[in-house]
Amino acid sequence: MKTILIKKISIKCMIALSFVFALNSCEKEEGTAISEESGNFEATITDLNLSKTQIAVLKDNLVIPENSTVQQLEGTFLGRNINGLLIDDNFVASELFDQWLNADSNTEASKGSIMKNRVSFPANGKRTLKIGIVSQGFQSLNAVQLESAIESISRYNSLNMAKIQYTYRLGSASQLMQDQSLNQVIFNDTNNNFVGNPDGRAQFPVNGNPGFLLGLNNRTRNYTKKQNTVLIQHEMGHTLGLVHSDYLTRRSCDFNGTDVNPNLVEGIPNTINSGNHLNSIMRACGFFRYINFRGEDIVGLRNAYNGNF
């Protein structure tokens, strides 16, 4: 059974060189449930009506809904339960949103939750993150997307971050479903029910683990290798906890600014943390003009995962 989601989510693009943290909860609006059953993906998408407090919490954590109605996805993917909010290019897991809702931004404890929104690593040595890439069958990447995904992973490894490195495996969704060691999966969202209208959508880290889902809009099958590579690099940044480099203004999207509280953002040492910086693949929009990480991206990622911050 397949039902296509008709409601559009406007394109706004993706996240940058600062880290997010947290705050409150939501109520389901009565509405039509949209079911998707295909291969190993089963999900129901419903409209969700957020209160002013809930919208403020999302904005404080640099996730900016266009209005009070967003979408909630509940289902399973690769044998794992998936539950969260679909907002622009972000997938905010319900577990993470609950942490944001229950945090107190004026306490030291809430400052600790900033750390929980990053990827944890061992005191000694590196943590190896294993990415599954759907390369066969339903929701598989095509040849160009697959080359782009592998190139993106290689580019992250070439940064030689002190505490994080990547490995990957290829396979069908059913094959990857059997691998419980996966930390992340990259897939082509054939019907765009997870990704929606943006080019890609990724999940923030939860409880010290990288965001598990990184989906590509089906139209990116027609994008060039350069475009898909930078897109996946950008979305992988989200899964490590990076926010848009112009999060305070979103001027790369001709946005009129936000009421984001800058005190809720943890700046990475020795990087530009103005919230209005455009020379980054983590700018909110227009990052296809770049062919690789920019200088601030490199410094930011290395410093964020050097074991000292």
pTM assigned to the model: 0.73
Residue 257 binned pLDDT confidence (cut-offs 50, 70, 90)? low
Bridge partners (DSSP) of residue 164 are 127
Q: Is the pLDDT of residue 214 over 60?
A: yes
Residue 105 binned pLDDT confidence (cut-offs 50, 70, 90)? very low
Mean pLDDT of 180-201: 92
60-98 pLDDT, tens digit per residue, is 776 777 778 888 888 887 777 888 888 877 788 888 888
Q: 73 with 83: CB under 8 angstroms?
A: yes
